[in-house]
Structure 1
Amino acid sequence: MDGTGTPTTGTIVTPQMNAIVIDRFGGIDELSARRIPLPQVGDDDVLIQVEFAGVGSWDAGERAGEFDGYFDGASTFPYILGWDGAGTVAALGRNVTRFEVGERVYAATMPVPRGGFYADYSVVEAEFVARVPDRVPTEQAGAMAWDALTALSGLDLLDLRPDQTLMVFGASGGIGHMAVQLARHSGIRVLAVASGDDGVALARRLGADHAIDGRKDDVPAAASEFAPGGLDAALVTAGGRTAERSLRAIKNSGRIAWPNGVLPVPVTSPGAPVSYYDGDRGRIATDRLNAIIDASPFEVHLARTFPMERVEDAHRALNDHYVGKLALKIR
């Protein structure tokens, strides 16, 4: 390298990007800003220039090492968190033909093995990338993918008909507030069990037929009034004693969908069968989600959006009461 910092002939320079990384599992203080190499783009990949990334409770668990060894492949450091993100296409693998550079896209990914969305760029297999619907701001799209797709997969599993009854437990959380909207699109009658007055107000605004506060209201009594013969189904997005007790309101012939990772799981059988599942993040699922968004109102409610340099504050906020989602502004 010469005196101006310009590489001399034969020098190989690896492109760099800004990222939030951890060098070992642990607390919030393990998060640090770093310049690291851009991820390599494979033949079937899309390189996304990230504008916004979702911040979820699972990020804190992952940061602490709770998921270490859970995914295919070993955890490697520096480790980039971030399961949801949105931005624009920066580059395409040679086999990818359905996107163009500069298009707005969103994706659900897994940080292992190639890194997540807490970075200027993220590389995601094209199968899991989708265009951002015109009506959705990029900020909202950045925090949408995993929660919306998990909600959609749960509703698919329940397979309810219009006018059947559904309890969404945790209806003011990330998955829950999107599930309320997707269920109403299908004509399902929704009893929303939310958290706090602000959570109840959000669930009502997003279309729930009835909304109650799970922290202070009698959920079984409200469910009995909403569906005297018993509820047809439940989608549970927050576990615990109240959730377990509330599931007794589901008909024995009904169904309960419980995303993997929602803890604690029931200790006693609620009567109706419980199906544990993972969200489908593939192209068919994102195409269906986008079609629903194009056809009806849909909102990703963002409680707070933090600049990238305040990622520690974003992780602290995960322990606070909030409704909807949190996000990071990457650029």
Structure 2
Amino acid sequence: MDRNTVARMNAIVLDRFGGVDELSARRIPLPEVRDDDVLIRVEFAGVASWDAVEREGHYDGAFGVASTFPYVLGWDATGTVAAVGRNVTRFDVGERVYAATVPAARGGVYAEYAVVEAEFVARVPDRMPTEQAGAMAWDALTALSGLDLLGLRPGETLMVFGASGGLGHMTVQLARHSGIRVLAVASGDDGVALARRLGADGAIDGRKDDVLAAALEFAPGGLDAVLVTAGGETAERSLRAIKSSGRIAWPNGVLPVPVTPPGATVSYYDGDRSRTATDRLNAIIEAGSFEVHIGRTFPFARVADAHRTLNGHYVGKLALKVG
């Protein structure tokens, strides 16, 4: 690609942190491609709850770098390789890839092009649709890291709290791949239906069903583990269903955290987005029937509608069609 002919790109930018109305479309310079980088021509980007938190300024300074404007959001993307840095040998221009990035340092993926260190870029498995890959990386990798942390054996019991959300519905599938018995606590009839379709051994609606009673029926001796993808009073109460020797995986950023410490050990953690982790994830995808459920896809120009939808009820992930 001739960098001189594509010196600028379309992007969704913030000129300051705030509400949905702060999002605006504009042409900005392409990001600089350093020696260890991959420049991705973005086709689809994931839209997630943390995008809204970041848009409001709550991550300002959290990653050890000062926020600079115009600021581009977006942590998950898929597309094709447009260029590579001189140290990058494992990707070719034109290859289909996905990436998990952190917008704060170099800009996010709500843009026609995004630059990501090669370590955090992976090939899209042949069987995976591009749209699904665009909304997958951080949630799937966080699910995988959480299950590693819990270390469950086949046949042991896991409650996935928030099982119809992005992280939750991917956790259900990865747990079932490992032979773990899954009780899915989902949201709404559509959420329960999704969790059942994806292989949960039991699925209930956390908004109207008695989670504690259902959990004790599912695992009379107490659950072996819980992975929490949505905090709050119901989540905290449901943790009483875990045995005292059990384990709780709680991704950093899932709020609110428990007010009262539960009886079992809580491990707060971050998802691993290294090449080792994406290689493992890709092997699982190639071996089975893993899917990313896309609740809705929005045109690039309607990013504000996507952010408004984050506040309402939906299942799976939201995606933005960029390219």
Q: TM-score, normalised by structure 2?
A: 0.98
Tell me the distance in 2 between the aligned counterparts of 1:215 and 1:13: 53
Which residue is equivalent to 1:119? 111
Take 2:301 and 2:241, find their aligned partners in 1: how far apart are those partners?
Answer: 45
Alignment equivalent of 1:95, drawn from 79, 82, 87? 87
Does 1:48 pair with 2:40?
yes
1:225 aligned to 203, 210, 217, which one?
217
Residue 111 of structure 2 aligns to a residue whose secondary structure is coil
Which consecutive aligned stretches of 4+ in structure 1 deviate over 4 angstroms post-superposition? none
* Distance apart, 1:13 and its partner CA: 7.9
1:250 aligned to which of 237, 242, 245: 242
Equivalent residue for 1:202, pick from 191, 194, 199: 194
SS of the equivalent of 2:11 reads strand
Structure 2 residue aligned with 1:167: 159
- Deviation per CA, 1:41-73, whole angstroms, max 9, x where unpaired? 000000000000000011111111011010121
Separation in structure 2 between the aligned mates of residue 69 and residue 233 of structure 1, nearest angstrom: 33
**3-state SS, counterpart of residue 39 of structure 1:** coil
Given candidates 274, 286, 302, the residue that maps to 2:278 is 286
Post-superposition offset of 1:14: 7.4
The amino acid across from 1:29 in the alignment is D
Alignment deviations for residues 195-239 of structure 1 (CA, whole Å, 9 cap, x no partner): 000000000000000000000000010010000000000000000
Question: Which residue of 2 is the match for residue 154 of structure 1?
Answer: 146
Task: Give yes or no for the alignment of 1:299 onto 2:291.
Answer: yes
Is it true that 1:133 corresponds to 2:121 in the alignment? no
Question: What is the one-letter code of the residue matched to 2:29?
Answer: P
Runs of at least 5 residues in structure 1 that lack an aligned partner in the other structure = 1-11
Which of 253, 256, 267 is residue 264 of structure 1 equivalent to? 256
Aligned to 1:86: 78
Deviations 1:262-314 (A, max 9, x none): 00000111100000000000100000000000111011000000000001101
| Among 31, 34, 56, the residue aligned to 2:26 | 34
1:182 corresponds to 2:174: yes
Is the partner of 2:122 in helix, strand or coil?
A: strand
Displacement of 1:26 in angstroms is 0.6
SS of 1:113 mapped into structure 2 = helix
Cα distance in structure 1, aligned partners of 2:206 and 2:245: 24
1:295 maps to a residue whose letter is A
Aligned counterparts of 1:14 and 1:60: Cα–Cα separation in 2? 29
Whichever of the two has the greater Rg, that structure is 1
Give the superposition deviation at 1:251: 0.6
Please name the residue that 1:6 is paired with. Answer: none
1:106 paired with 2:101, answer no
Number of aligned residue pairs: 320
Q: Distance in 2 between matches of 1:237 and 1:61?
A: 16
The CA distance in 2 between the partners of 1:268 and 1:106, in whole Å, is 39
- Structure 2 residue runs of 5 or longer lacking an equivalent are none
Tell me the secondary structure at the aligned position of residue 105 of structure 2.
coil
Return closer, same or farther for 1:13/1:326 CA change in 2, 3 Å cut-off.
closer
Report SS of the residue matched to 1:258.
strand
Name the amino acid aligned to 2:221. Answer: G
Q: Compared with structure 1, are the counterparts of its residues 103 and 14 closer, same or farther at alpha carbon in structure 2 (3 Å cutoff)?
A: closer
Cα RMSD (Å): 0.9
